[in-house]
Amino acid sequence: MAKQINIKKGLNISLQGEAVRETVVASVASLYAVTPTDFHGLTPKVVVREGDAVQAGTPLVIDKYLPEINFVSPVSGTVKSVVRGEKRKLLNVIVEADGKNTFVEFPVRDPKNMSADEVKESLLQSGLWPFIKRRPYDVIAHPAHAPKAIYIKGFDTAPLAPDYAFCLKGMGKEIQTAVDAIGKLTSGKVYLSVPAKDAAKELLDVNGVELCTVSGPHPAGNLGVIINHTDPINKGETVWCVNALDLVFIGRFFLTGKVDFTAPVAVTGPMVITPAYYRCKRGICLSALFEGNVYKEQPLRYINGNALTGTQVQKDGFLDFYSSQVTVLHEGTNVDELLGWVMPRFNMFSTSRTYFLSGLLRKLNPAKKYDADTRILGGERALIMSGEYDKVFPMDIYPERLLRACLVKDLEEMEALGIYEVVPEDFALCEYVCTSKIEVQKAIRESLDLLKSENGDE
């Protein structure tokens, strides 16, 4: 029995550079890395030395406070360097691939016949555990917790997001196996979100989940919206979240005994010459995807993830552990726009009706795609306009009130207004439309961190 969720509030931002759904180019690089900053709140501890030989699946880093959580090498080779930044902060553990592609062999087991503890143990050992994230706080799940439900993200509505139906083609067996495994971890329900149109067939066929069919604009694909519409999180409760694209790795692990992070990655954005899907491993050095594939006349911004919630990365950085998408925009630092704030700006996307000519053109040509740069396009101000956030925030929460509570660090008010139900990505559109250019996601993130430490949550 599928649950129908109809989202009205939200916004689809149509950018140029959608990955073409036909080609999957295999990509390899000589360098791969585990990047501890991909995992928010992690205190990493390196467990290998430079020069050590590793296989795909060998732990490189562990969580200092929960040492059972492993972060493993995506490839076989030798540890090339352990890169540290200011205050010896661990930035990357880089592995030079040997091209042999050997794997640590784990036992092949059917999760249906495993206990919850055995599944946990397998996922922790194999370095697949970090794919399970936890709400509240948006951090890696704590193995000792009992989540009241698990949510699987079965589609993505963010700008230029990868098409799950395309990425998951032929992966039905892997998905089902992973769902069997994940299902062991909760006594509650496992929810799977799918779009009302063009859902991945592999997801619709999965057994053991409660399907949530969602229609509407972005953020319809965000799990926060689904949770809010199905079983909102109360204080003290925990919900785990997994991305269906990552389930493939988990399923593959139980089916083959190998940790293989190979999956299609959408290389997108207006500054990419041929936006397409590249088949590669998580942790790959991004120059393999970008070299010769970006317009170089202008300063560029490379993003792990999408333009709303992704993180900025150097051109020779590494693919995010959670990312099935990279986006390239032009930075915009070299743009001098004379009196831009009063111009009609036909080629820039805006939700504001003050750009009525531009809006009219969009009505006439709904398929129009926009270029975008990373300029903030205005100075930061106190909150002036009201009701802007409400239009893009399809949850039973007052986003502006919650943001104000976060900005002044009023913990009680945050709890009363539903901070446990949100993660920074839920506020991405609010930040996008904000006339006052407030760093909304940052404020939410800092508040969640503060609450986590105040609550003494591990």
Partner 1 sequence: MKPAFEPGGKLSKLRSVFEGFESFLYVPNATSKSGTHIHDSIDSKRTMFWVILAVIPAMLFGMFNTGYQHYLVTTAVMPGFWQIFFWGVLAVLPYIIVSYATGLIIEFAVAQMKGEEIHEGFLVSGILIPLIVPIGVPLWMVCIATAFAVIFAKEIFGGTGFNILNVALTTRVFLFFAYPTKMSGDQTWISLRDYFSYGTAQPAIDGFTGATPLGQAASQLGTDGALQLTNALGQPLTWWDAFLGLIPGSIGETSTLFILLGGLFLLATGVASWKIVVSTFAGGAIMTLILNAFAGGDAYLSLPFWWQWCLGGFAFGAFFMATDPVTAARTEKGKWIYGLLVGMIAIFFRVCNPAYPEGMMLAILLMNIFAKLIDYCVVQSNIKMRAKRAANVVNASK
- Is 92 within 8 Å of 83 (Cβ atoms)? yes
Task: Please identify, using beta-carbon distances, which residue of 112 and 296 lies nearer to partner 1.
Answer: 296
Task: Please identify, using beta-carbon distances, which residue of 70 and 306 lies nearer to partner 1.
Answer: 306
**Within 113-172, which residues bind partner 1 (CB under 8 A)?**
159
Measured in degrees and rounded to the nearest 5, phi and psi for residue 106 equal -100, 155
**Within 176-195, which residues bind partner 1 (CB under 8 A)?**
none
Cα(376)–Cα(397) distance, integer angstroms: 26
Answer yes or no whether residue 417 interacts with partner 1 by CB under 8 A. Answer: yes
Answer yes or no whether residue 451 interacts with partner 1 by CB under 8 A. Answer: no
Answer yes or no whether residue 401 interacts with partner 1 by CB under 8 A. Answer: yes
Binding residue for partner 1, selected from 5, 7, 10, 13, defined by CB under 8 A: 13
Three-state SS at 83: strand
Cα(427)–Cα(421) distance, integer angstroms: 12
State the nearest-atom distance from the C-beta of 345 to partner 1, in Å: 5
Binding residue for partner 1, selected from 68, 205, 396, 454, defined by CB under 8 A: 396
Would you state the structure tokens that stand for residue 85, as one six-digit string?
Answer: 């930044």
Which secondary-structure segment (H or E) carries 146? none
User: Minimal CA–CA distance to 191: which of 150, 229, 248?
Assistant: 150
Binding residue for partner 1, selected from 119, 181, 397, 406, defined by CB under 8 A: 397
Binding residue for partner 1, selected from 108, 376, 408, 453, defined by CB under 8 A: 376
Cα(289)–Cα(278) distance, integer angstroms: 8
Task: Please identify, using beta-carbon distances, which residue of 176 and 186 lies nearer to partner 1.
Answer: 186
Measured in degrees and rounded to the nearest 5, phi and psi for residue 122 equal -60, -45
Decide the pairing of beta strands 77-84 and 90-97: antiparallel
Answer yes or no whether residue 307 interacts with partner 1 by CB under 8 A. Answer: yes
Would you state the structure tokens that stand for residue 350, as one six-digit string?
Answer: 């805006």
**Within 232-261, which residues bind partner 1 (CB under 8 A)?**
232, 234-237
Would you state the structure tokens that stand for residue 394, as one six-digit string?
Answer: 């399809």
State the nearest-atom distance from the C-beta of 166 to partner 1, in Å: 24
> Which of the ranges 137-145, 192-200, 286-294, 427-435 carries the binding residues for partner 1, by CB under 8 A?
427-435
State the nearest-atom distance from the C-beta of 212 to partner 1, in Å: 19
State the nearest-atom distance from the C-beta of 208 to partner 1, in Å: 24
User: Minimal CA–CA distance to 415: which of 387, 388, 450, 391?
Assistant: 450
Answer yes or no whether residue 372 interacts with partner 1 by CB under 8 A. Answer: yes
Answer yes or no whether residue 377 interacts with partner 1 by CB under 8 A. Answer: yes
- Report the chain's terminal Cα–Cα distance, integer Å: 36
Three-state SS at 312: strand
Task: Please identify, using beta-carbon distances, which residue of 240 and 393 lies nearer to partner 1.
Answer: 393
